[in-house]
A and B are shown apart, each in its own frame.
Chain A
Amino acid sequence: MLKSALALLLVLLGTLAQAQNLEIVLLDNQGKPLSDAVLWIEPGPAQSQPATAVMDQQKRQFTPYVLPVQVGTTVSFPNSDPINHHVYSFSPAKRFELRLHQQKAAPQEMRFDQPGLVTLGCNIHDWMLGFILVLDTPWFTQTDEQGKAHLTFDAAAGQTLQLWHPRIADPQEALSRAVPSDGTLTWQLTGTLKRDPRPKAPALRPQGKGGYVP
């Protein structure tokens, strides 16, 4: 519902200003589509409406894995699992901790006021990893399974297209480029991707250094 409201708003804004659409296909250096990448246009408009977003806990994972939000967005942290979570962030952009103990209770909320990357972890489940990318623009999107993404933005305000993905090593790639004029972009990455930082969830049987089998 929120999503559709946001889309409506964008449409409204686009109609108000000079709305431009951009179709992006993101490929890794192997030519394979890269999902979960965040693309956004900078700089954003001078004024923007705060929004809300949800970072759910499902099956001991942060869902979604990567959540891009505009500055000022309040993100609610529901717990869809029957177990407790202890979500925290020590990132400078937002340091917090939330004890998500009741599954059915109202989701706890957290407002993100500073732009930057907030890395989420769970103090109970070490392997849980999630990102909230706080952006100073409302024009952002995420690639889908085919690496495709769609952006509608005001071409008069934003000229630079930015890219972020947890597997891209920062210095390796030029992660910003000018917005193409024809509305389509196939962005192939040249650098090798890092491995997925998400630790593997443990199997049911306890394993590790305390075990009897080395």
Chain B
Amino acid sequence: MTLRGKILGFFLLLLLAVMVLLLALVYRSTYQHTLSQVAGQLNFAHAVLSNELQSRRQAQSAMADLIAKDFTLLGEIADLIASPQQEAQSLSAALESFASRSQASFALVSAPEGLILAGTSGELLPGAQLPWNDLLNADDAQSKERLVVFGERVLHINATPIFAPRPNLMGWLLMAFELDDQATAHLARLSGADVALLDGSPGQYRVLASNLQALPRAELAGQLLTNAEGVFRFELQGLEQVALRAPLIGTSSELQVLLMRSLSAELADYQPLQWQLAAIFAIALLLAGLGALWIANTVSRPLSQMVDNVRRIASGDYQVPMETQASGEVGLLAREFVAMQQGIAERETTISFLAYRDPLTELANRNRFVAELQQALQQCPPEAGVAVLLMDLDNFKDLNDTLGHDAGDQLLCLLAARLQTLLRPGEQLARLGGDEFALLISPCQPGWLIPAAEHYRTALHEPFAVRGISMTLNATIGIALYPDHGESAGSLLQHAEVAMYLGKQQRSPYALYRPELDRHSLLRLALMSELKGAVEGGQLSLYFQPKLNIRARSLYGVECLVRWIHPVHGFIPPDEFIPLAEQTGNVCALTRWVVRTAVTQSRAWQEQGLELKTAINISALDLADPGFAGFIAAQLAEQGVPPSALIVEITESAVMADPELAMGQLQELCELGVKLSIDDYGTGYSSMAQLKRLPVHELKIDKSFVLDLLSNPDDDIIVRSTIELGHNMGLKIVAEGVETEAILDRLDQLGCDIAQGYLLSKPLPPAAFASWLENCQWHLPTTSTEGAARQPLPPGN
């Protein structure tokens, strides 16, 4: 509900309530007043009626008295008494005359005891007894009267003794005066009220006489009039009546008189007043409604205007001119809205600034850059191109770790400032995050790319001074060009990044994107998900590279090397997928597959009578696998391969990553009887002191020291001292990268125990290795039980 509606509703309802209340009060008081007035009138009418009836009775009594003394009548009666057999015609005729004179309904003469002698009544005939015998008292003969109901009629009966003379009671004169409709009509006129004489019980009244018409009279008979005497109300012919009910004086029956006045008729006098009041109220209501509407408008119009304005602000339009002409609270509110509108506009500017700006360098951020790039792509003319240059600092992480983030941030700001000064028209700069800056060149030709990269690299020529330290920074720039290297902003950025990583890899200051780079990087992503399936799906195989016992010039054993032949991509080098396996957590499953395959192969050789030490490589992560040693033991036991036939090779760096953890796991393996070998010795930072603590049996000198052994005196020294040192510690020394007989001879001179390298063979798949064994120029070690007898090798595996 709107404010306007509320104000309007409140005023109108209030007024309406007051008016209704007033009307109700006026009606009620006029009603009450009329009621009490009518009640008073009825009481008065009753008094008038009573008095009138009394007067009539007196008049009738007097009349009866006179008639009772009429000498003619006495004579007639005396005649009748004197000769009872005679007919009473003349007496009846006389009585008729008297009745007519006195306007009586009928007149009778009875004997002193009540026996009717003569009369004018059709019902009460001579010879019958009078029904009102109790009125006649011979001893106390005097005039008596009564109202009686005779049949359906109300009669005023007057019994007058006839003396001839007093106290000689000759008989009784009985005169009946009917109180009929005409008489009640007269009474009604006199008293000013409707009159009804009735008897009977509620709902079954007999209306004996009334001035009412036939219809209301019939309805009155069926009324359930209240039993209480006094003034009461009821409805007759749809009109409200006020009535007074009283017993009639001088009656012994249930005869009652009902006096009525129509309240509706009385109230009708007030109807014009009520209409006038209603008209006044209607006009007042109209005026109040208009007034309330006006007041409501003065409040609500500025408010609804403000609501419109606020809606426009909500939709982002801050240029709404706020009208503040309104006075009072509404004006104040409007002015506050203006202030709020300005505040919102300022804050939104800040927010949008933050949303599209890098807070550190105040350059555009990635969002802004992408947006600008998209726009540039859309507006790019067909013959032109758009270039994305991605600059990433080298070793920034190390610098951050060494000097702290504050210094790093400071450095980034300095770089951002320098880059900004190098900006040329059509070029935009953004910081994408971390130490990554991006340049947008639009339009751009392929020929401009390298000069542009060189141009921005000049920012790095001068050293940066942070906290008094002067340092020179290096950065790599990856370049991608639209439309050659990508159609969308996302692909261009991605490709520039790929090129940037290529540059880093190649230690080149900048690199242009090439599609094959990306194919490679995409492959990596695909492989990650396929590696697990490869382990289980038989895409992996073990290659074997033989090891030679130098002194005996006999075959010592093999190193097992895992190879992945992808059904689509073909051969995938281990350098590529093993780090991938380590990253994706699949390396343990991979190692277990290697262990299982190697042990199975070892068993095969054993069955052929060959005693070859089988070496496998494990990852640092395998050392963290608590069930690893147990798994190896189970495999060995299952295949019946002695633990001493298995050599576990682990790189120096893997051991040094967590020496304590490695120590525990290696100790367990050692206790199992498995031989342990340190791979790639000499490339890491391990000390002899640390190695001494490990349960190691073998050292493998890295091939980088062996390849140039003959030509590089330093390598010779390293190899020789390593061999001496290892021997002193009771370790066997394995030399990798043995490619010539000369090197082998030298190693023999130096006392190296075992040689491995292309001199013997490159790593071979199982079938090739089997045939190599067939043609082997070296002694083949045989198991003691089977001697040196050669067994035919199984094909494959």
| A residues whose Cβ falls under 8 Å from a Cβ of B | 86, 88, 90-92, 95, 97, 119-123, 126-129, 197, 199, 208-210
> Across the interface, which residues of A come within 8 angstroms of B165, CB to CB?
88, 119-122, 126, 128-129
Q: A86-B71, A210-B62 are in contact. Are A92 and B168 (CB under 8 A)?
A: no
User: Can you give 21 contacting A-B residue pairs, CB < 8 Å?
Assistant: A88-B74, A88-B164, A90-B74, A90-B164, A91-B168, A95-B78, A95-B82, A97-B71, A119-B164, A120-B165, A121-B164, A121-B166, A121-B168, A123-B69, A126-B69, A126-B166, A129-B165, A129-B167, A197-B166, A197-B167, A209-B62
A102 to B58, CA, bound (A): 36
> Across the interface, which residues of A come within 8 angstroms of B78, CB to CB?
90, 95
Measured CB to CB, the closest approach of chain B to A64, in angstroms, equals 17
Closest A residue to B69 using CB positions: A126
A97 to B164, CA, bound (A): 12
Tell me whether B476 is interfacial, beta carbon within 8 Å.
no
Measured CB to CB, the closest approach of chain A to B32, in angstroms, equals 38
A128 to B163, CA, bound (A): 12
What is the total number of residues of chain B having a CB less than 8 Å from a CB of chain A?
17
A121 to B62, CA, bound (A): 20
Measured CB to CB, the closest approach of chain A to B84, in angstroms, equals 12
Q: A88-B71, A126-B69 are in contact. Are A208 and B167 (CB under 8 A)?
A: no
B62 touches A208 (CB 8 A): yes
A141 to B58, CA, bound (A): 46
Closest B residue to A95 using CB positions: B78
A209 to B166, CA, bound (A): 18
How many A-B pairs with Cβ below 8 Å? Answer: 45
Measured CB to CB, the closest approach of chain A to B434, in angstroms, equals 133
Residue with the greatest number of chain B CB neighbours at <10 A, chosen from A127, A199, A209: A209
A209 touches B82 (CB 8 A): no
> Across the interface, which residues of A come within 8 angstroms of B167, CB to CB?
129, 197
Closest B residue to A196 using CB positions: B167
> Across the interface, which residues of B come within 8 angstroms of A95, CB to CB?
78, 82
- Proximity bits, B164-203, A CB within 8 Å = 1, else 0: 1111101000000000000000000000000000000000
Measured CB to CB, the closest approach of chain B to A208, in angstroms, equals 7
Q: A95-B78, A121-B165, A199-B166 are in contact. Are A209 and B61 (CB under 8 A)?
A: yes
Partner of A123, one of B61, B62, B71, B170: B71
A128 to B65, CA, bound (A): 17
> Across the interface, which residues of A come within 8 angstroms of B168, CB to CB?
90-91, 119, 121
A123 to B73, CA, bound (A): 12
Within 8 A of A (CB), among B127-182: 163-168, 170
> Across the interface, which residues of A come within 8 angstroms of B65, CB to CB?
209
Supplied contacts A90-B78, A121-B163, A121-B165, 7 more A-B pairs, CB within 8 Å: A88-B165, A119-B168, A120-B165, A126-B69, A126-B165, A126-B166, A129-B166
> Across the interface, which residues of A come within 8 angstroms of B166, CB to CB?
121, 126-127, 129, 197, 199
Q: A119-B164, A121-B165, A126-B69 are in contact. Are A90 and B62 (CB under 8 A)?
A: no
> Across the interface, which residues of A come within 8 angstroms of B62, CB to CB?
208-210
> Across the interface, which residues of B come within 8 angstroms of A199, CB to CB?
166
Measured CB to CB, the closest approach of chain B to A161, in angstroms, equals 26
A92 touches B71 (CB 8 A): no
